[in-house]
Structure 1
C-alpha cells in the first residue's frame, strides 16, 4: 500500500520534513519514503488528501485498566494526600475489576489510544481479583487492533501472599509465552517500592531471568522514599539497585521525589525514566527534577490519565513553564515523545518503531490539519503543541485501523454500547467495596 498526497513530519527521524510525498508499506513495515507524486503502478493507494503525516505515537506508560474511570463518582470524602488517593480511588477500582471488566477496559483503552494516534502502548496492569490470564487477554486484544504492546502486571504485597504469588506467576507466564511474539514486549510489573517488602523484592529478583526488565512506579510520592530509608537506602532507586532489579530493559516511572544525584545512578544502570506530567499535576505530587529528565533515556507517558500523547506534551510544557523564570529554557517534551519514546520502544521490542523511515513498523497517523500559518522544519514544534486535534486516519502495523475517524474493524458505537453499562457495573462494584471497607488501608 502507498499512502500519498501527504506532508511528512518526523522531526527526529532520518528525513524530518517532506512537504509533499508518499510512504510505501509492505506487510507490517515501511519500505520506502519519498517526495513528489507516488509511482504510477497498480499498488493499492490511500489518498491522504493533503494530510499531515506523523509516525504512530507511543505511550511509554499507561494503565488500560482505568479506561472506565472517566466520570466515575468521587470518593465520599476528600483525599488529602497521594496515599489516600490510592486507597480511596485506584485501589478500590482495581479490586473491583473482574475478568469481563478487564477485557472491556483493554478494548476501550486500546481503541481510544488508536483514535488519538497511539499505535504502541506500554501498559502497567492491575486487577487483583482477576490476575490469571489477564496479560494473555491484553496481548490478544492488542493483536486484534494492531497495537504493539508491552505487558506487565503490577506485583504488590497489598494483594496478600496468594495474590502476590499469582501476580509474579502472571508476569512469568507472559515472559515464557510471549517474549518471541512480534510486537509484544513482556516486563515484570511492580506497583511501587512502598508496597513491596524486602522479602518480596528478593522473590521478584529470583523470578527474573537474565536481561529481563521491570516496570515500576518509583518516587511518585515522598512515602516511597520514607519506606526506602527504613531499609537503609538513600532513595527508592537505590533500594531497587541494591536488589539488582534495574537494567537497560527496565522502566522507572515518575521519579518525582528522586534526588538529583540519582541521575548518574540511572545512567549507570541503563534503566529508562518515564515522565508523566499530567498525572503528577493531577495528583499534586510535584515535578520531576530537570537533571533527571535532561538525560538520554527518558520517555513520556500518560499514566492512564488520557490517551493523547500530543496533549500530554502540551500539558507538560505548560505546567513546567508556569514555574520557570522569564527567559529560562523549558524541557523539550516533544523530544521526549517523538525521539525518547521511539528509542525506548525500539529497544524493548527489538524492532524499529516510531519513525517514518524504511524498516520501521508501519505506523502512520494522518491529521486533517490545514494551518493558517506556514509549517516547516523550523517551526513544527508550536504546530504540534497547539494545532492538530484527533487524527483522521490511523495505520497501525501496516493496516488501516481508523479511516475518516471511523474504526474500520467494527462500529465504534458497538464497543461504546458495551462499555457504558460495564462502567456503571464497575462503579457500583466500587461503591459496594467502599461500603464493606469505608476506610481502606493505604
Structure 2
C-alpha cells in the first residue's frame, strides 16, 4: 500500500479542490485491485500502518494526458542539420521530417522513446499517445517503443504511420506492423496481465494514403477492434488534395471505408469543413488539437474548434508539457477571438482521459459503468475499494486507476474549483510536479526519477548526434 498524506485533491472535471485528506493506493502486486485507489479519508496511516508514504501536503490530481505526439522528434531539439528553406508545409515535411524519420534505426528509436517518456513524466504526464514513423525500421518498431514505455513506466497508445510515400511495399509493411502490435497487446491481455500500452492503427495523412492503402487500414481497424490515428487537414493542401484526387473531404474518405469510430484520433483538423465535424461527432471520434505545432508550422487556426464534441490536447512531438500546451491553446484561441475561456480548455485537457479510458477501461471494470458517486468523499468519511462502480480515468476516486501526480504549488492567491483554469493558464507549471505515479507505481519521487534517467539522457545525447549525421547523409 502507498499513502499520500494530508493532500488536497484537485479534480479537473468538474473542477474542485478538497480539504486536506489522505489517499491510499494499491501498489503493483496487491491482487486484482493493484494500481487503483484503495481509500480516501482522514488518518489512513492508522488503517494502513505499513504503507509507504509517497508524499505529504500539496495537491493530488489525476495524471495529465498528451493526446497526440511523435516521440521520434525527441532527438530533434536544437538539431544541427542543413535544412533547405521551405516555402510551405509540404516542403517542410520533405526537407526536415521525412529525412528525420528515414534516419531512425532501432538504437535511435529506443533512445528517443526513452527520453521522450522520461520528459513526459517529469511534466506530470502519465499517458502519451504516440504516432510513430521510421521507414527504414518498420518491423518490430512498436515493440521497441512499448519496451521504452514499460522501462520508464508510462501509459500510452502506439501506432505506426502508414503512408504510400515510400512505396506500396512500405505501406503494406506499415499496416502489418500495426496489426502485429495490436495482436501483441491482445496476447498480453489473454495471459491475464494488464498492459501499460495499447494499440491504434496509424496513418500519415490523406494526401499520402491512396485508396488501396486506405482500404487496408480500414480492414486493420475492423480486424483488431482499434481506431485509426491519422493527421487530417493539418495544412490546407491535405483538404484540397482529397477533394481533387478522390472527390471527398478527408474525413469523408476515412468514414466511407468504415475506418472512423469512437477510438479514432484525428490530428490537427485545422482545415476540416463543418460537415466533416458533424461526421466526427456522430462517430464519437477525437480531434487532437496541437496549438504550438500549428503555430510553429504556420498552418492556420482551427476556427471550428468549439464545434467538435471530443477535443483533446496534443503536442505533435513538441515535448509533452501539457500545462505549457494548455497555456498556448488558451492564448492562441483568445488571439483568434474565439468564444472559449480557460475553463473550456480545462475540459479539453481533462478529456484526454476519456481517450485513454476507451482503450483501457476493460482492464479495470469489464462490463461496468461509470460511477455517479461524488468526486471526493468528505474528509470525515472513509471510502474504501468496493463501494460503487468504476469511476474511470482522470479522477482521484476509490477504484480509479492510480495514475496520479502530486503537485508542489504554493500560490499567492487562493486555489479553488472555480479558478483552477486560471491558475493553470497564468500560474501553475510542470515544474510543480513533485511525485508521479502510473498504475500504482511511483516513477518520480520528490522530483527524483526512480529509473536511470542519467543514463537515458546521456545515451540520448549520443544518439542525437548519430541521428543528425544520418539525416545529413539522406
Structure-2-length-normalised TM-score: 0.86
1:296-350: per-residue Cα shift (whole Å, max 9, x none)? 322111111121011101011011111218xx54372221111x11111101222
User: Residues 331-346 of structure 1: matches in 2 within 5 Å?
Assistant: 332-338=344-350, 340-346=351-357
Deviation at 1:66, TM superposition (A): 0.9
Matched, 1:386 2:416: no
Query: Counterparts of 1:401 and 1:233 in 2: how far apart (Å)?
Result: 49
The 5 A counterparts of 1:400-411 are: 400-410=442-452
| Residue of structure 1 equivalent to 2:341 | 330
SS at match of 2:270: coil
For 1:74 and 1:33, how far apart are their aligned partners in 2? 52
Contact 1:5 1:47 in 2 (8 A): no
Give the equivalent residue in structure 2 for 1:200.
213
Query: What's the CA shift for 1:353?
Result: 2.2
Match in the other structure for 2:10: 9
Q: Deviations over 1:112-157 (max 9, x none)?
A: 1111111111110111111111111111221222211211000001
Greater shift, 47-56 or 259-268, is seen at: 47-56
* Residue aligning to 1:38: 44
Deviation for aligned residue 1:268: 1.7
Q: Is the 8 A contact 2:81 2:468 kept in 1?
A: no
Report what 1:264 is aligned to: 278
Unpaired runs of 5+ residues, structure 2, are: 27-33, 365-391
Deviation at 1:158, TM superposition (A): 1.2
Segments of structure 1 that go 5 or more residues without pairing to the other structure are 434-442
**Which one of 435, 439, 450 corresponds to residue 397 of structure 1?**
439
| 2: CA distance, partners of 1:287 / 1:162 | 35
Aligned equivalents of 1:43, 1:294: Cα separation in 2: 50
Equivalent residue for 1:114?
121
Residue deviations 1:357-377, cap 9 Å, x none? 122211111121111111111
Displacement, 1:231? 3.7
- Work out whether residues 58 and 354 of structure 1, in 8 Å CA contact, stay in contact via their aligned partners in 2: no
**Structure-2 change in CA distance of 1:172 and 1:232 (3 Å):** closer
Contact 2:138 2:173 in 1 (8 A): yes
1:95 paired to 2:102: yes
CA distance in 2, matches of 1:159, 1:321: 40
Secondary structure, in 3 states, of the residue corresponding to 1:392? strand
Shift of 1:182: 2.5
In structure 2, distance between residues paired with 1:164 and 1:366 = 43
1:375-406 deviation line (CA, Å, top 9, x unaligned): 11121111122222321111111111111211
Offset of residue 96 of structure 1: 0.5
RMSD: 1.8
Task: Check conservation: 1:132, 1:166, Cα contact below 8 A.
Answer: yes
Is the 8 Å Cα contact of residues 75 and 89 (structure 1) preserved in structure 2? no
Retained in 2: the 8 A contact 1:149–1:185?
Answer: yes
Q: Deviations over 1:74-130 (max 9, x none)?
A: 544322211111111111110000010000011001111111111111110111111
2:472 aligned with 1:428, yes or no?
A: no
1:6-405 matched pairs, under 5 angstroms: 6-12=7-13, 16-26=16-26, 27-34=34-41, 36-40=42-46, 41-46=48-53, 48-73=55-80, 75-179=82-186, 180=189, 181-210=194-223, 211-290=225-304, 292-324=305-337, 328-330=339-341, 332-338=344-350, 340-350=351-361, 351=364, 352-389=392-429, 390=431, 391-405=433-447
Deviation at 1:273, TM superposition (A): 1.3
- Verify the 8 A CA contact 2:287 2:308 in the aligned structure 1: no
In 1, distance between residues paired with 2:442 and 2:314? Answer: 24
**1:436 — aligned with what?**
none
**Measured at CA, do residues 233 and 349 of structure 1 come closer, stay the same or move farther in structure 2, by a change above 3 Å?**
farther
User: Alpha carbons of 1:394 and 1:207: their partners in 2 closer, same or farther (altered >3 Å)?
Assistant: closer
Counterparts of 1:313 and 1:396, CA distance in 2: 21
Q: In 2, distance between residues paired with 1:355 and 1:59?
A: 16
Q: How far 1:51 moved relative to its partner? A: 1.5
Paired with 2:404 and 2:289, the residues of 1 have a C-alpha distance of 24
For 1:135-184, what per-residue CA distance to the aligned partner results, in whole angstroms no more than 9, with x for missing partners? 11111221222211211000001121221121111101011111335232
CA distance in 2, matches of 1:188, 1:148: 17
